A and B are shown apart, each in its own frame.
Chain A
């Protein structure tokens, strides 16, 4: 915590992480799928608790809130060592790296103390309640409302596309607290306990057939004023911060696994299918190798550049702009390499994974902000290009057409 604390040397840190993982974490196996069964969830929660106890959660979070106060380079080393293991990222990744990190940056001391250590140990699962059925990309056009009643806000509205919402304990929820000001200036961010009366979570079936994302109905839900993050009507600043944290994390470590791991699984597949000597296959895989390697080096450049302040905010979007379509290309080519067995497989065969990964990858360019929105962010925030003109600039939200 103090400035004099010596950071662990990276190679020693790597050795320790290597040994700890070998002794404590389950190895990935070929038949692993993305289905979160109750047993899988329990296993992941148990492992997360042990990871946190051993110091492998919240790498860059302050020690006071259960973190390790290390650098992104330490996180990177750990993730490299962890690439062959089945970590609980699928369950706790968003909760820790987006919501936990947002609370660390914008929450009150009380909010940080009561939630962040529990988020890191996996005892609390958090969900983002951002998108609404009437608007996805136009986040600031949200219409879920909150009005103050004594020491509580009363919330009414509906949120959607909330991944793992059915498992979550808390949601971070932007709401409209003023309709009399322009749309970006009437938003506040609240922490909602999802077991509060009036919260109803329904699971939505996705194109993969799974039901991990949810819609959340909020009817007269009372939330204590103490759960307000930051100031009332200044939530847009927090949302921008949250999105930058999200894009940077997604671009850096993916939340979808290490890009190199995905790439080398394609090489293994090509070898299994006897295609490793095919000149066209080799050429296409080499092209993907170049793009994957460049994206990884870009992620390193942007992580270092943004944490040292040499690159401005907005570069997180640039990372995601590169990462998401590349993951889709990898999944598309894996399905192609799998050949007819990729689209018609024997029951119980591991070949099922390629269709599943392919379908799942279609969300990469939508979830967490579409690729089109990343392009807007990059061109407006980094390049300073003008926004598309709006005739409603400066008008109160209640007076303009909205979702």
Chain B
């Protein structure tokens, strides 16, 4: 279990979510989805999940611009952990990041209607943030030039998860007044989405290109020129939730491996009785438990006011480094069977390796930590 401090209600949420996924998304469904997404009913399961509340943990449509529920991030992380264990290809993070943004900074009837559609599961939205392997406010090069009745967007965001299925995209672009966020309909003229192949076939990414995309002023989320803070907050939430999901996946394959080494025999005894293997499993537990500890800190920091991005970068730097190692080791301890398509080990490997890169890898977040925490006193002027 990722979070040891859950309330009774949160434990219930975890149990309900896990049971729902066990019933509706057994591992055979993952394989069906890989062969043909449409045949797997993934989209209708997502609508059921929205009815269960996966999209409304951060707030209600009425709350547009009013902020997010206090325990929203903790609750979402509970769902993310369960999704990771089940390898469910849900737009949980993209949709909730857009909901988060609208709840924090949104305004107007149009954005309220959009939030309503996201929360009841009839529409999905995605967060188009990445440019050239950068994921924070520092990397936003897309431009938004002022037109007579709105803005013209140009630029490329890639990879963007669920872009192909999304009805709306949240995009940051630079206006003359500074970085600004827009919610853009996916079918707007000038916006193209090119599906990408992916290491994790339960994850579908696209390259999003904007050439002269015209949007109205009402599509601006928050105040013009103030999105640097918003993008950082969104990244912190995305990272915290993704780490929870990664841990869900890593823990599942780890538990499978511990069971396997107790049953599998070599040279007349369970392979799990050999110290050469036991010691590696002990090290992996250290990494897994430490990954949980940094992730809980990142989730708690999302809830705390102005906790900054250090806890999220710390979590991502650690989880992105250790969790792939755990899953690689799990595959190794399975021997030949672990290298087969039929065995599930590679499905977890693909998910965890892919997560390690998305939203910034260990190097990316280490560089941020280096500036913001480790050498903060030497490279930044101290407030007097």
Q: Mark A residues whose CB is within 8 Å of B.
A: 267, 271, 276, 282-283, 285-287, 289-291, 293-295, 297-298, 300-302, 304-305, 308, 310-311, 315, 318, 321-322, 372, 374-376, 378-380, 382-389
* Closest CB in chain B relative to A333 CB, distance in Å: 13
Count of B interface residues, CB-CB < 8 Å: 38
Q: Decide yes or no whether B357 CB sits under 8 A from chain A.
A: no
Contact between B4 and A298 (Cβ–Cβ < 8 Å)? no
Q: Are B4 and A385 in contact (CB under 8 A)?
A: no
Could you tell me if B290 and A322 are in contact, using CB atoms closer than 8 angstroms?
yes
- Report how far A105 CA is from B275 CA in the complex, Å: 32
Q: How far is the CA of A372 from the CA of B283 in the complex (A)?
A: 11
> Which residues of chain B from 278 to 330 have a CB within 8 Å of any chain A CB?
278-279, 281-283, 285-286, 289-294, 296-297, 314, 317-318, 321
Beyond A290-B321, A318-B285, is A301–B370 a contact (Cβ under 8 Å)?
Answer: no
- Given A290-B366, A385-B258, answer yes or no on A321-B286 (Cβ-Cβ < 8 Å): yes
Write the chain A residue with the least CB distance to B377.
A267
Nearest chain B residue, comparing its CB with the CB of A271: B378
Give A310 to B275 CA distance when docked, in angstroms. 27
* Minimum CB distance partner of B373 in chain A: A289
Which residue numbers of B lie inside 8 Å of A, CB to CB? 4-5, 258, 261-262, 269-270, 272-275, 278-279, 281-283, 285-286, 289-294, 296-297, 314, 317-318, 321, 366-367, 369-370, 373-375, 378
Contact A321 B4 (CB under 8 A): no
Grouping DSSP codes into helix (H, G, I), strand (E, B) and loop, the B interface class, with mixed when no group exceeds half, is helix
Can you list 21 A-B pairs, Cβ within 8 angstroms, ordered by A? A276-B375, A276-B378, A286-B369, A289-B373, A290-B318, A290-B369, A295-B290, A297-B296, A298-B286, A298-B293, A301-B4, A301-B292, A321-B286, A375-B283, A376-B275, A378-B282, A379-B281, A380-B278, A385-B272, A385-B278, A386-B272
Contacts of B274 in A (CB 8 A): 388
Contact call B293/A321, Cβ cutoff below 8 A: no
Tell me, rounded to whole Å, the shortest Cβ–Cβ distance linking B206 to chain A.
32
Indicate if the CB atoms of B273 and A286 lie closer than 8 Å.
Answer: no
Distance in Å: Cβ of B276 to nearest Cβ of chain A: 11
Given A276-B378, A285-B370, A294-B293, 11 extra CB contacts under 8 A? A271-B378, A290-B314, A297-B296, A297-B297, A300-B293, A318-B282, A376-B279, A376-B282, A379-B281, A379-B282, A385-B258
Q: Decide if B294 touches A310 in the complex (CB within 8 Å).
A: no
Which residues of chain A are within 8 angstroms of B279 by Cβ–Cβ distance? 372, 375-376, 379
Q: Chain A residues near B275 (CB, 8 Å)? A: 372, 375-376, 388
Whether B285 contacts A386 by the Cβ 8 Å rule is no
Interface centre among A287, A301, A374, by most chain B C-beta atoms within 10 angstroms, is A301
Minimum Cβ distance to chain A for residue B321 (Å): 7
Using CB atoms, name the residue of chain B closest to A305: B4
A residues within 8 A CB of B292?
301
